[in-house]
Amino acid sequence: MNETSEFYLFYKHIAKFSSITEGEFDDIMSYFSKITFKKGDNLAKLGEKVNHTYWISKGLAVSNYIDNLGKEHIMQFANEGCWITDQQAFYNQTIAIFDIVCLEQTEAISISFENREKLCAAIPKMENFFRRKANDSFVKQQKRLLTYMANDATERFNLLLKEYPDLIQRISKRKLAAYLGVSRETLSRLKR
């Protein structure tokens, strides 16, 4: 397997959480699809059923929510090596409460809910993988919530820079402000 290919990177990602062989990986990949999205394409759309979860191999997507006042709230950025979906809608097979939009041309490896269930039944190591990834995701979301509640805007900005140093160059100031929960004016003061 070519060590720079997206499939090798995906293999290494899975192997970090579950011990699989390259032969098992070939079987695992039969449940996944590779998809390319253009900038502006939706991976999930508010009010529509969510049938897939995505691992981003190249590009950038954002999960956002627009409140009743028209204010945007960014739930997640997903760049290379990240998973993204509307988790509530995907796991409960209901309609999306978020929009997930590609901010760049994006290449993803996706799996449907049905194929995920079949994969976990066929290869129990993958059930362990998805459980560990869900735990990891829960911990990250909990940390983000705590950061949002306990830190001021400057601390949130500095934590974002530390965790995702290249992200600032790839997103608009409006998106960055929405993620941090601040106005663009406040963001301008933070970036000085």
In a domain, 178, yes or no: no
Q: Which residues pair with 66 in a beta bridge?
A: 72
Contacts of 166 (CB under 8 A, 6+ apart): 79
Task: Look at residue 167 in the predicted model and tell me its pLDDT.
Answer: 86
Distance between CA atoms of residues 5 and 132, nearest Å: 24
Task: Look at residue 104 in the predicted model and tell me its pLDDT.
Answer: 97
- Span 167-185, mean pLDDT? 87
Amino acid at 157: F
In a domain, 101, yes or no: yes
In a domain, 180, yes or no: no
192: pLDDT strictly greater than 60: no
Predicted structure pTM score: 0.90
In a domain, 181, yes or no: no
pLDDT digits (tens, 9 = 90+) for 133-175: 999 888 888 888 888 888 888 888 888 888 888 888 899 888 9
Sign of dihedral through CA atoms 5, 10, 16, 22? negative
Task: Look at residue 173 in the predicted model and tell me its pLDDT.
Answer: 87
Task: Look at residue 191 in the predicted model and tell me its pLDDT.
Answer: 65
Report whether 9 contacts 1 (CB < 8 A). Answer: no
Q: Which residue has the higher pLDDT, 50 or 139?
A: 50
Q: Which residues pair with 78 in a beta bridge?
A: 61
CA-CA distances (angstroms) from residue 89 to 80, 109, 141, 144, 186?
Answer: 23, 19, 17, 21, 33
Task: Look at residue 155 in the predicted model and tell me its pLDDT.
Answer: 86
64: pLDDT strictly greater than 70: yes
Q: Which range of residues forms the domain containing residue 14?
A: 6-123
In a domain, 170, yes or no: no
What is the residue-averaged pLDDT of the chain? 91
In a domain, 97, yes or no: yes
In a domain, 162, yes or no: no
CATH number at residue 87: 2.60.120.10
Amino acid at 31: Y
| Number of domains the chain contains | 1
Distance between CA atoms of residues 61 and 105, nearest Å: 9
3: pLDDT strictly greater than 80: no
In a domain, 156, yes or no: no
- Span 84-101, mean pLDDT? 96
